[in-house]
Structure 1
Amino acid sequence: MFTGAMFQIRRKKFEIFYYTHHLAIVWSILVFLHGIGCFVRTEERVCKGYFTWKYALAGFILFLIERGLREVRARRLTYISKIIEHPSKVIELQFQKPSFSYKPGQYVFICIPEISKYQWHPFTLSSCPEDDHHSVHIRVCGDWTSALANRLGCFKKKDQVKTYNGWYLPKIYVDGPYGTPTEDVFQYDSALIVGAGIGVTPFASVLKHIWYRKTRNIKENTKLQTLHFVWICRDKNAFEWFHSLLEAMEKDCPSEFLHFH
């Protein structure tokens, strides 16, 4: 588990990291069983009581309940509604899930059974609660994301796109949302948010939320008076991912409130 968690392995071989960490379940079971057969003895070879398992078992049961609830929640009706190709090999995946509600800056785990039944990958939501859809921006940079792009027929010439029987979008499971520190941006008078490359997605959600509030004159209980937004990209074409959003923000939000860098 320790070796599989090393940065180089997580980056290049995510599957090794993912599957080896499921050994924690085996480890937990062994913790409960290792006291059987008088494993712990006194110097006189008298069996010594082993009661730690009672406390560990309670936490393990709570873990199993939480995992079960996540499985139920993730498998509620969800479907992909739209796919958009962006520059620098980024896919915008829009989906619908009627039972889904979230806050700006939160993230979800996504599973595409057609690619892998057991892999759940985390992605920050780039949409905001006011949108009529939910979306994530996915950069193609690994085995799973490459397989997703290939399945969706993205970044190929028309004559290279594979066809399926009555071409359909794959089934999708979405688990979440889960909170992040980004949610706290509204609790301060002045905030500085910095995004690098595709890491800008949580701030795109925040900016969209602010834009909707400003343009619809919706009053909300927030301390935020000044927002500095910094976005760093190696490829200038990447700025097109949220070009229309930034353009609308610059037009509709007061210059004393929002500052782009």
Structure 2
Amino acid sequence: MAGIVFILIFVSSLEWFRRNAWEFFAISHVLVIAYFIFCSFHTPKFLIYAYISVALVAFDLILRFFLGTSVLPVRSTVFRKRGPGIVQLRFPKRITKKVFYHPGQYVFINIPSISKLQWHPFSISSAPHDKEIEVNIRSLGNWTSKVEALVQSMGEGESIWIRADGPFGNLRLNYYRYKTVIFVAGGVGITPSLGMLRDIFDSRKKKRSRIARVIMIWAVPVEEEANW
């Protein structure tokens, strides 16, 4: 039985399920409890692995609670289509315990009206000094396609309830010490660079960097996508 449960968990982890049936992927992993139980029938010593796994999960949750956000719902201030298959989402900083973040970091976003279980990571496009946090979502998979469909069904100026967890990541680049900074990005991969660009312009206003020139090389599949 343990082998059957393990195979089911493995199959549900394949890319097709993660992209098209994420809820099934997430719920099926609860079966890991049954896997540990069945394995313990073979040898009680196997329970030590269960204890270690539970301890690691608990440690992760505690760490994310203190370093991340309170994960309280908040209404977005901006939720609109920005380009072909691109949705812009902005929300207040007050959702986070850590109001300050660094360029290049990311947050996990959950939109309860689409799925209460799915959390997806997105790079922060806003700068630390901005009053709101901005992310840009590209329609690629099942969940992101639903995000695009949702924004198309909404009226001008409407907002949605979201939950955010973060910021995370440690892309700490000390670009202030250079006179010339070059950014190279492709498609929606420009999102973390946008936050860095805004941070650079802010640092120049406050005269806390020696950057004299910024070069951006951005490749997009279609010209319309560059109209951000």
TM-score where L is the length of structure 2: 0.74
| Corresponding residue of 1:121 | 120
Question: Structure 2: 5+ residue runs without aligned partners?
Answer: 1-8
Contact 1:5 1:17 in 2 (8 A): no
Q: Which AA in structure 1 matches 2:135? A: V
Structure ID, larger Rg:
1
Percent of aligned positions that are identical: 24
**d(CA) in 1 for partners of 2:83, 2:49:** 52
Distance, in Å, in 2 between the alignment partners of 1:2 and 1:162 is 38
* Equivalence for 2:199: 209
Aligned equivalent of 1:248? none
Is 1:51 equivalent to 2:40 in the alignment? no
For 1:63, which of 33, 57, 80 is the aligned residue? 57
- Residues 64, 29 of structure 1: alpha-carbon distance in 2 compared, 3 angstrom cutoff: farther
- Kept after mapping to 1: 8 A contact 2:93/2:131: no
Q: Contact 1:108 / 1:178 at 8 angstroms: preserved in 2?
A: yes
How big is the shift at 1:235? 1.1
Classify 1:108/1:186 alpha carbon distance in 2 versus 1 (closer, same or farther; 3 Å).
same
- SS of the aligned residue for 2:76 comes to strand
| 2:197 match: secondary structure | helix
Q: Does 1:95 align with 2:79?
A: no
Q: What is the CA distance between 1:21 and its match in structure 2?
A: 4.8
CA gap of 1:125–1:14, structure 2 versus 1, over 3 A, is: same
Separation in structure 1 between the aligned mates of residue 198 and residue 10 of structure 2, nearest angstrom: 39
Following superposition, the deviation at residue 205 of structure 1 comes to 1.0
1:52 Cα deviation (Å)?
4.9
Tell me the amino acid that sits aligned with residue 199 of structure 2. Answer: H
In structure 2, relative to structure 1, the CA distance for the partners of 1:129 and 1:216 (3 Å cut) is same
**Shift in Å at residue 171 of structure 1?**
1.1
Name the CA distance, whole Å, in 2 between partners of 1:203 and 1:141: 20
Select the structure that is richer in helix. 2
Q: Is the 8 A contact 1:32 1:57 kept in 2?
A: no
TM-superposed deviation, 1:133: 1.0
Q: Report whether the alignment pairs 1:150 with 2:146.
A: no
Rounded Cα–Cα distance in structure 2 between residues aligned with 1:3 and 1:81: 39
Alignment of 1:174-189 (within 5 A): 174-180=164-170, 182-184=171-173, 186=175
SS at match of 1:105: coil
Partner secondary structure for residue 172 of structure 1: strand
CA contact (8 A) 2:127 2:199 kept: yes
Change (3 A) 1:188 1:149: same
Aligned partner of 1:251 in structure 2 is none
CA shift, 1:75, in A, is 2.4
User: Could you give the per-residue CA deviations for residues 73-114 of structure 1, whole angstroms, max 9, x where no partner exists?
Assistant: 352353201234322232211101313432111111111111
Q: How does 1:12-27 map to 2 (within 5 A)?
A: 14-17=19-22, 19-27=24-32
Where does 1:1-261 land on structure 2 (aligned, <5 Å)?
A: 1-7=9-15, 9=16, 14-17=19-22, 19-28=24-33, 30-31=35-36, 34-36=39-41, 39-40=42-43, 50-54=44-48, 56-67=50-61, 70=64, 73-76=69-72, 78-98=74-94, 99=97, 100-152=99-151, 154=152, 168-180=158-170, 182-184=171-173, 186=175, 193-218=183-208, 229-241=216-228
Structure 1, unaligned stretches of length 5 or more? 41-49, 155-160, 242-261
Query: Aligned residues, how many?
Result: 213
Do the aligned partners of 1:74 and 1:176 also contact (CA within 8 Å) in 2?
no
Over the aligned positions, Cα root-mean-square deviation in angstroms equals 3.4
1:65–1:78: structure 2 CA closer, same or farther, 3 Å change rule?
Answer: farther
The TM-score normalised by the length of structure 1 is 0.66
**Deviation (angstroms), 1:134:** 0.6
